[in-house]
Amino acid sequence: KLMHELRSSGIRADMDLDIKSLKSQMKQADKAGAAHVLIIGEQELEEHKAILRDMATKEQQRVAMDAAVIGKAVERESRSMA
C-alpha cells in the first residue's frame, strides 16, 4: 500500500524483497542512483515508522509510514542539498 501511495504521489519507488544484507541493498540502491532509501524492518513495522536515509549525506531520520509525510521529508532534504 505504501509503495502505491508513494508512486501515486510522484515519488519513484522500488522494493527489494530478496533476502540480502542491508549493506548489499544499500549498494544496489546507490548503484541505481537512488537519492533516498526508505528502510522498513520488523521494529519499524511494529512502530509504524520507517527510516529515511539520504544516500549522499548518509543522514537518517525516522518518519511516519505515510506517503505524504515521506514526500515532505524527501522534499525538505532535497531543498537543503540545493
Cα dihedral 37→38→40→46 (10° resolution): 150
Mean pLDDT of 49-59: 93
| 48 pLDDT tier (thresholds 50, 70, 90) | very high
Please determine, for residue 80, whether its predicted confidence score (pLDDT) is greater than 80.
no
Cα 46 to Cα 17: distance, rounded to the nearest angstrom: 18
Q: Extract the C-alpha cell encoding 78.
A: 532535497
Spelled out in words, what is the top-level CATH class assigned to the domain 2-81?
A: alpha beta
Cα 66 to Cα 31: distance, rounded to the nearest angstrom: 26
| 24 pLDDT tier (thresholds 50, 70, 90) | very high
Cα 71 to Cα 64: distance, rounded to the nearest angstrom: 11
The residue extents of the domains of the chain are 2-81
Distances (CA, A) of 8 to 35, 59, 66: 18, 26, 12
